[in-house]
A and B are shown apart, each in its own frame.
Chain A
């Protein structure tokens, strides 16, 4: 896999092509699976809102499941390739999926990222069976917060974490850098969804909102500090914006087109509302990203303590996202009714959740640095 030795200069060309095509294909296929799953889920939620009835075999379900299957198959192939390479005495570079981990007493050699993404996909498959059992007992209830649904969402989240680890291991190469920039927004979109489980508890705020306010700063801090290049935070926010715009257009379009294709009308009494999943994505993350860039720029120039700066970056992002969520709801949903108390509660939560996210974000970056040393650091 490592072809840099064959190149005479080992310069920019080598840096760009150091990791082989198979490694890049594996990483991007896992990523593609997570994108398909995210689009499938957004479509499915929109279908339930606008059209209604479904079975296990709706196209949106097929998209959701095939995305996870794609990520799982790619992870499995990469683990088998790594195992074969290890046995042949030419182990893969750590830029291919991260630190190799011995599995089943050394029967398999699994790059850490693919091990995590693969376990997520395998878990998804198992919980798909539990979901079938659940639906055979309770019917198709069209709510997100059932044990089987939450387990499925958690499994996908694990696959997405694996995808980030895979790209993090190649972050000093261009494809790895852009992979981190792409995979962080996917997890920002998805990570708050399992928080739906907490809707069964009597909380004063929708737990998904708490999830958005926590995971956005956590992942923005991880992405920006992991990549260590000016503009990374802004690039992540821009990709999130593009993803949001795409899902904003795609989800209602797909739900309505599919309904027309199967001869179902839209529900009666629908009001003009923003599409469900993209409507909940943080629209003002770009503001936070600019502020984080300024903070990191000052940190680099003045040699400030990065551990303290990530706390501040998390707090700033948490506040911006927390204040932005009710704002974007008012801007995009004419029927929304947000009381002053709710607004204040959400905004106040932004600070502690953001600080916690900044703290954990800094620690997780350090862990990613240690667990997935890139080729330069490993030397």
Chain B
């Protein structure tokens, strides 16, 4: 390798390394982009519910933000979720900070798998006491994209291939007729 080539390779490697070092952390997460909001009155607290996708479709993951008036500092509460397909152990959960929008409570990359009408309930405790409220008419439309049966058929092809391989190998070897030594 000539010194010129070596220098070129070293420069290219350095540029690649710096690019990846700079880009990888920066692209590790995307900002939360709220495109629609609804308002809920939970006792003395006015809660702004934000959605990163609107209208919502089944199986489509999105960010939900819940921001009480005056911010979340000094407040705590519980989120109640109700709707078709919500499992019994997922009905209630503490309101926690959204991991990418730390000034709000929220759910990140959360999807609901079944179309229908959902309800978000809030029970909030804070300086103005206890308050409860509901956002009861969140409609989730049918899933986008190709039918699930088609997606699962395509996704199962490696499994089908593996089974075919095992069957062909089994028929060729006939392991039941051969001795097994341990």
Contact mask for chain B residues 7-29; partner A; CB cutoff 8 A; 1 contact, 0 none = 00000000000000001111111
Min CB distance, A43 to chain B, in Å?
13
Chain A positions within 8 Å of B176 at CB level: 363
Chain A positions within 8 Å of B158 at CB level: 120, 123, 127, 151, 154-155, 157-158
Find A139's partner among B27, B111, B151 (CB 8 Å cutoff): B111
For chain B, which range describes its interface: under 10, 10 to 19, 20 to 34, or 35 or more residues? Answer: 35 or more
Which of chain B's residues has its CB closest to A304's CB? Answer: B182
Asked whether B182 lies within 8 Å of A139 as measured between CB atoms, the reply is no
Chain A positions within 8 Å of B159 at CB level: 154, 194
User: A371 to B169, alpha carbons, bound, how many Å?
Assistant: 8
User: A151 to B158, alpha carbons, bound, how many Å?
Assistant: 6
Find B102's partner among A58, A161, A265 (CB 8 Å cutoff): A265
Q: Is B100 part of the contact surface with A, judged by Cβ < 8 Å?
A: yes
Chain A positions within 8 Å of B28 at CB level: 53-55, 57-59, 258, 262, 264
Q: Is B125 part of the contact surface with A, judged by Cβ < 8 Å?
A: no
Asked whether B170 lies within 8 Å of A265 as measured between CB atoms, the reply is no
Asked whether A268 lies within 8 Å of B96 as measured between CB atoms, the reply is yes
Asked whether A225 lies within 8 Å of B180 as measured between CB atoms, the reply is yes
User: A137 to B71, alpha carbons, bound, how many Å?
Assistant: 33
Chain B positions within 8 Å of A197 at CB level: 152, 155-156
Known: A147-B152, A228-B182, A306-B182. A139 touches B62 (CB 8 A): yes
Known: A147-B151, A265-B102. A57 touches B170 (CB 8 A): no
Asked whether A137 lies within 8 Å of B145 as measured between CB atoms, the reply is yes
Chain A positions within 8 Å of B155 at CB level: 127, 130, 146-148, 150-151, 197
Q: Is B126 part of the contact surface with A, judged by Cβ < 8 Å?
A: no
User: A268 to B154, alpha carbons, bound, how many Å?
Assistant: 37
Find A137's partner among B24, B108, B144, B175 (CB 8 Å cutoff): B144
Find A147's partner among B23, B62, B154 (CB 8 Å cutoff): B154
Asked whether A365 lies within 8 Å of B30 as measured between CB atoms, the reply is no
Known: A138-B145, A228-B181, A370-B175. A267 touches B100 (CB 8 A): no
Q: Is A6 part of the contact surface with B, judged by Cβ < 8 Å?
A: no
Asked whether B99 lies within 8 Å of A265 as measured between CB atoms, the reply is yes
Asked whether A53 lies within 8 Å of B173 as measured between CB atoms, the reply is no
Asked whether A138 lies within 8 Å of B111 as measured between CB atoms, the reply is yes
Chain B positions within 8 Å of A348 at CB level: none
Chain B positions within 8 Å of A161 at CB level: 162
Chain B positions within 8 Å of A318 at CB level: none
Chain A positions within 8 Å of B26 at CB level: 262
Asked whether B182 lies within 8 Å of A154 as measured between CB atoms, the reply is no
Asked whether A141 lies within 8 Å of B59 as measured between CB atoms, the reply is yes
Q: Is B157 part of the contact surface with A, judged by Cβ < 8 Å?
A: yes
Which of chain B's residues has its CB closest to A135's CB? Answer: B61
Chain B positions within 8 Å of A90 at CB level: none
Chain B positions within 8 Å of A119 at CB level: 161
Asked whether A62 lies within 8 Å of B24 as measured between CB atoms, the reply is yes
Q: Is A174 part of the contact surface with B, judged by Cβ < 8 Å?
A: no
User: A257 to B19, alpha carbons, bound, how many Å?
Assistant: 20
Chain A positions within 8 Å of B181 at CB level: 228, 306
Q: Is A322 part of the contact surface with B, judged by Cβ < 8 Å?
A: no
Q: Is A296 part of the contact surface with B, judged by Cβ < 8 Å?
A: yes
Chain A positions within 8 Å of B30 at CB level: 53, 55
Asked whether A140 lies within 8 Å of B165 as measured between CB atoms, the reply is no
Which of chain A's residues has its CB closest to B113's CB? Answer: A200
Min CB distance, B8 to chain A, in Å?
23
Find A366's partner among B94, B108, B173 (CB 8 Å cutoff): B173
Chain B positions within 8 Å of A363 at CB level: 170, 175-176
Find A269's partner among B25, B29, B96, B152 (CB 8 Å cutoff): B96
Asked whether A138 lies within 8 Å of B180 as measured between CB atoms, the reply is no
Q: Is B139 part of the contact surface with A, judged by Cβ < 8 Å?
A: no
Name the interface residues of A123-173: CB closer than 8 Å to any CB of B: 123, 127, 130, 134, 137-143, 146-148, 150-151, 154-155, 157-158, 161
User: A142 to B108, alpha carbons, bound, how many Å?
Assistant: 9
Asked whether A299 lies within 8 Å of B151 as measured between CB atoms, the reply is no
Chain B positions within 8 Å of A272 at CB level: none
Asked whether B59 lies within 8 Å of A138 as measured between CB atoms, the reply is yes
Chain A positions within 8 Å of B97 at CB level: 265, 268
Asked whether A141 lies within 8 Å of B111 as measured between CB atoms, the reply is yes
Chain B positions within 8 Å of A365 at CB level: 180
User: A142 to B112, alpha carbons, bound, how many Å?
Assistant: 12
User: A53 to B97, alpha carbons, bound, how many Å?
Assistant: 13
Min CB distance, A52 to chain B, in Å?
4
A–B pairs, 23, beta carbons within 8 Å: A52-B99, A53-B99, A53-B108, A59-B24, A62-B24, A116-B165, A130-B155, A138-B59, A140-B109, A141-B61, A151-B156, A151-B157, A154-B156, A197-B155, A228-B181, A228-B182, A264-B99, A264-B100, A265-B99, A269-B96, A310-B180, A367-B170, A371-B173
Top 5 nearest A-B pairs by Cβ distance? Answer: A147-B155, A268-B96, A366-B175, A141-B61, A154-B158
Known: A146-B155, A267-B96, A306-B180. 12 other contacts (CB 8 A): A134-B145, A137-B144, A140-B109, A141-B61, A142-B109, A148-B151, A158-B158, A158-B161, A264-B99, A268-B96, A300-B182, A366-B179
